[in-house]
Amino acid sequence: MEKFGKRLRTVRMEKKKTQKQTAEMLDMKLRSYQLYEQGTVEPNIAKLIMLADFFDVTLDYLMGRTDS
């Protein structure tokens, strides 16, 4: 899960968004988003899909299964 959090942070920073902006755009609590980036909490599949769509990356990329 650590790789997921790092990837999530990387794609967010590439989009030049803060954690707060991202959480608001995804209609979720800031703390929930922060826990995803920390790797403390795993999102459910619906949230994973939402995150991948929002950042325009694949689920495989977010989960560290591929580097492209």
- What's the confidence (pLDDT) of residue 31? 98
Task: Give residue-wise pLDDT tens across range 3-39.
Answer: 999 999 999 999 999 999 999 999 999 999 999 999 9
The answer to whether residue 48 is domain-embedded is yes
Q: Which residue has the higher pLDDT, 58 or 1?
A: 58
**Mean pLDDT across 52-64:** 96
How many structural domains compose the chain? Answer: 1
The answer to whether residue 68 is domain-embedded is no
- What's the confidence (pLDDT) of residue 2? 76
- Phi/psi class of residue 62: alpha, beta or left (left: φ > 0; alpha: ψ in -120 to 50)? alpha
The answer to whether residue 67 is domain-embedded is no
**What is the domain range of residue 32?**
2-62
- What's the confidence (pLDDT) of residue 1? 64
CATH number at residue 43: 1.10.260.40
CA–CA dist 24, 22 (Å, integer):
5
Kindly report the pTM of this predicted structure. Answer: 0.89
